[in-house]
């Protein structure tokens, strides 16, 4: 690979302070504003909520990376 090749986590780097969707291994969609992430894909969201049968408001939340299936900057 060349040094200028993009890396997967660049998707997150360009999404800080923007709304993202985090799909967890138990099938939940957690939506919030990305504040920070690390190499384990631990994620800090603000204004987070769980979408689903009943919406759950979480506010500020730290999601442990090993529970995450995928992350999308939204549709």
State the residues that interact with its own copies by CB under 8 A. Answer: 1, 5-13, 24-27, 30, 35-38, 41-44, 48, 57-75
CA 73 remoteness from chain centre: 8
Nearer to its own copies, 3 or 70 (CB): 70
CA distances from 9 to 5, 51, 70 (A): 12, 24, 11
- Provide the minimum distance between the beta carbon of 19 and its own copies in the complex, in angstroms, as a whole number: 12
- Provide the minimum distance between the beta carbon of 62 and its own copies in the complex, in angstroms, as a whole number: 4
- Provide the minimum distance between the beta carbon of 53 and its own copies in the complex, in angstroms, as a whole number: 14
Q: Which residues contact 5 (CB under 8 A, 6 or more apart)?
A: none
Residue holding tokens 């529970």?
A: 67
């Amino acid at each position: 690979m060349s040094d200028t090749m993009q890396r997967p986590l660049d998707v997150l780097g360009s999404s800080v302070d923007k709304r993202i969707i985090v799909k967890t291994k138990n099938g939940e969609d957690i939506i919030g504003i990305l504040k920070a992430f690390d190499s384990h894909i631990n994620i800090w969201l603000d204004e987070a909520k769980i979408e689903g049968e009943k919406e759950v408001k979480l506010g500020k939340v730290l999601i442990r990376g090993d529970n995450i299936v995928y992350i999308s900057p939204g549709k």
